[in-house]
Structure 1
Amino acid sequence: MALTLNSTKLEALQQLLLQRAAIARSLSKFSVMLLVSSVFVYVNSVMFVALLSKPVFRETPRYILFTHMLCNDSIMIVFTVLISVVSYGHRRPTKATCSLVMILTTSTATNAPLNLGVMSLERYTAICFPLRHSQLATTRRTYVAIVGIWFFGLLNPVADSVYSSIVDPEFFLQRVKCGHERMFRTAPWQTSLSHSVSGLYYVTVTLVILFSYINVVRVARSASSNDKSTGKAHRTLLLHLVQLVLCLNTLLYSHTISFMAAFLSQEVYSDVRYGIYLLAILLPRCLSPLIYGMRDEAVRHLFVQFLKCTLSRVKPIV
């Protein structure tokens, strides 16, 4: 009898230790994600304020699109972390709240490649049609393009919410753990349509970037002198193409983790999913605006000035 009691206590102790180890591992993962996100949202915010401080940045299409990239990626990072905070806290918000968060995270993920496509077209017109660039790429047209980016980015998530609310009239009043699979009632036709639209976006943006890249290279080769702006645009478009590949990870993320779930244990699957999310989704979103900003000499000097003033709590002089 005593041996049975000791064995029961030992098993209970082992279960307690395993639970504490799992909690410690989850907290360490969450802490790393929160730290990385906080640092880069702070950096993006400083760069965003720096860009808004000068009229030339607020009126130039190239910098307007770059500022939109900063804002879009920061929104995605903040709300992705918010979903993780709610999940780690084992909270079940109403579907109305969760639906808003999911709409923002999904739309910003779609906006990223679309914004790259518009940025590529702007560089294409600047290099291939320099005399008409000021007429083709105006401030007004740039803002219209940004509105169009958000329109196409919001189509799928808003359609999911509307369809789910029509099928279930009490949809927004229910409580659920935030996640696309748990949130929306997705019919087979709806899933196919969503994947088709996302694929169409990526194919279109890829063709736009390749078209712009080929034409800029052609102009660079036909130029009689080594044009510095042409070479810089060439490298920028190449960076757009690399960034597009990283954005493609967002589209493949759900399919990849669903495939792995069938072959891995729950503990290993959790670690692999976290690693893929951190390296393929979060870090590229954090680093890309910083890379773009540091390549531009004017933005780099202004950002460094604002960052130093922010850290020392001194009002920057523009």
Structure 2
Amino acid sequence: MSFINQTQTNTTAEFQRQRLLFIVLLTTITTLLCCVFLFVNGTMLFTLKSKPVFRETSRFILLHTLLFADTMQLADSQTLFLLSALGVKVLYPVCAALTILYNIPHGVSFLTLVLMCLERYVAVCYPLRHAAIITTRNTGVAIFVVWTFSSLNCLIQLSLMLNVSFEDMKRMQMRDYCGKESVFQNAVSDLYDKTSTYSLFALAGVTVTFSYFGIIVAARSASTDKASAKKALKTLLMHLLQLGLSMSSNIHSTLIIVLSTNLDRVIAVNIQVLLYVCLNIIPKCLSSLIYGLRDQTIRPVLMLNLSCRCRSLSVISVVQTSAKI
């Protein structure tokens, strides 16, 4: 009997050790990948603020807004992922705050992509009126409206999820891990979240489609710059891909629930991590890759900033190592 108990204890200890190693490996890989993308996004944001041409051009101002929103989402989603992977259950207000901090830039990303598509549409279809319509002032007003709308939308969500007294909520610990499904517990808040998300996606999809076909029609005109129109069409297709990936991230939790109930735990966890990387991490760096590598104005400055920052990090690492020795 004691031999059986000892065997069970050893098996349990080995299982816990393997689980701990797996969690450490999982969190390390995703965190390193997230840090790399945060570094690239941060360098891109710095690049867009480093030159007057970037600060005074509407499409670069919109790109800065999109990148800032994507960077906020990336940092927040990685925080939620680490909390879930480490098995940390937070208080309800903390989880609600993290969810709202993710939803606000999420809405901003959708609406900013809409503005960027419209800007390209005006630039190709109405080149003579582009400078008068897409001004720095109008762009600033549009960005202000986007952030205001997204903030009000999340405030409505927050008011709908407060179905318990504030004093009880301050002491309430989440029974499940922190996520959107854990926060939007009542039917009204869940319905409003889905309605607002799908409405934004529909608006963005219609805008991209309208802009795409509008540019195709304009490209057949003899007065239209064919190279500019072709480049704009490729950019719109990339924006459509971004919208699709952003929308897919909304069904990430639903896919996790389905996988957890129908597959082996180890296989389900591996697929969950793959989905998290593909639907939550990679899309938040697409804007930097699309514009940083394709735009001839940004690329040389971005490459210079990336190389300088990498050298700075290497020097700091060498200095720290020498100091320890």
User: What TM-score comes out, normalization by structure 1 length?
Assistant: 0.90
Residue aligning to 1:143: 140
Residue aligning to 1:294: 293
Residue aligning to 2:172: 174
Structure 2 residue identity aligned to 1:196: T
- Aligned counterparts of 1:225 and 1:76: Cα–Cα separation in 2: 38
- Aligned counterparts of 1:52 and 1:67: Cα–Cα separation in 2: 8
- Aligned counterparts of 2:80 and 2:223: Cα–Cα separation in 1: 54
Residue aligning to 1:210: 209
- Give the match's secondary structure for 2:263: coil
Residue aligning to 2:59: 62
**Which of 112, 127, 139 is 1:130 aligned to?**
127
- Aligned counterparts of 2:87 and 2:223: Cα–Cα separation in 1: 64
1:168 deviates by 2.5
**Which of 75, 93, 99 is 2:96 aligned to?**
99
Moved more, 75-84 or 12-21: 75-84
Q: Any residues of structure 2 matched to 1:153-192 within 5 Å, and which? A: 153-170=150-167, 171-176=169-174, 177-184=177-184, 186-192=185-191
Q: Any residues of structure 2 matched to 1:192-203 within 5 Å, and which? A: 192-203=191-202
1:158 deviates by 2.6
Q: Does 1:309 align with 2:308?
A: yes
Structure 2 residue identity aligned to 1:131: L
Q: Does 1:17 align with 2:19?
A: no
Q: Does 1:109 align with 2:106?
A: yes
- Give the match's secondary structure for 2:166: coil
Structure 1 residue identity aligned to 2:279: A
Instruction: Give ranges in structure 2 of 5+ residues lacking alignment.
Output: 314-325
Residue aligning to 1:28: 25
The answer as to whether partners of 1:65 and 1:142 remain within 8 angstroms in 2 is yes
Moved more, 98-107 or 196-205: 98-107
Residue aligning to 2:247: 248
- Aligned counterparts of 1:255 and 1:130: Cα–Cα separation in 2: 44
Residues 304 and 275 (structure 1), Cα distance of their counterparts in 2 relative to 1, 3 Å cut: same
- Aligned counterparts of 1:64 and 1:272: Cα–Cα separation in 2: 37
Structure 1 stretches (4+) deviating beyond 6 angstroms?
Answer: none
Residues 86 and 187 (structure 1), Cα distance of their counterparts in 2 relative to 1, 3 Å cut: closer
Structure 2 residue identity aligned to 1:182: S
Moved more, 93-102 or 193-202: 93-102
Instruction: Give ranges in structure 1 of 5+ residues lacking alignment.
Output: none
Structure 2 residue identity aligned to 1:142: T
Residues 81 and 107 (structure 1), Cα distance of their counterparts in 2 relative to 1, 3 Å cut: same
Moved more, 279-288 or 73-82: 279-288
- Aligned counterparts of 1:252 and 1:165: Cα–Cα separation in 2: 23
- Give the match's secondary structure for 2:251: helix
Residues 234 and 114 (structure 1), Cα distance of their counterparts in 2 relative to 1, 3 Å cut: same
- Aligned counterparts of 1:108 and 1:224: Cα–Cα separation in 2: 38
- Give the match's secondary structure for 2:278: helix
Identity %: 30
Q: Deviations over 1:146-195 (max 9, x none)?
A: 222223333454323223335322224434342223334x3223322221
1:230 deviates by 1.9
- Aligned counterparts of 2:190 and 2:81: Cα–Cα separation in 1: 24
Residues 250 and 111 (structure 1), Cα distance of their counterparts in 2 relative to 1, 3 Å cut: farther
Residue aligning to 1:52: 49
Residues 32 and 190 (structure 1), Cα distance of their counterparts in 2 relative to 1, 3 Å cut: same
**Count of residues paired in the alignment:** 310
Residues 54 and 173 (structure 1), Cα distance of their counterparts in 2 relative to 1, 3 Å cut: farther
- Aligned counterparts of 2:105 and 2:44: Cα–Cα separation in 1: 19
1:224 deviates by 5.4
Kindly report the root-mean-square deviation, in angstroms, between the aligned alpha carbons of the 2 structures: 2.1
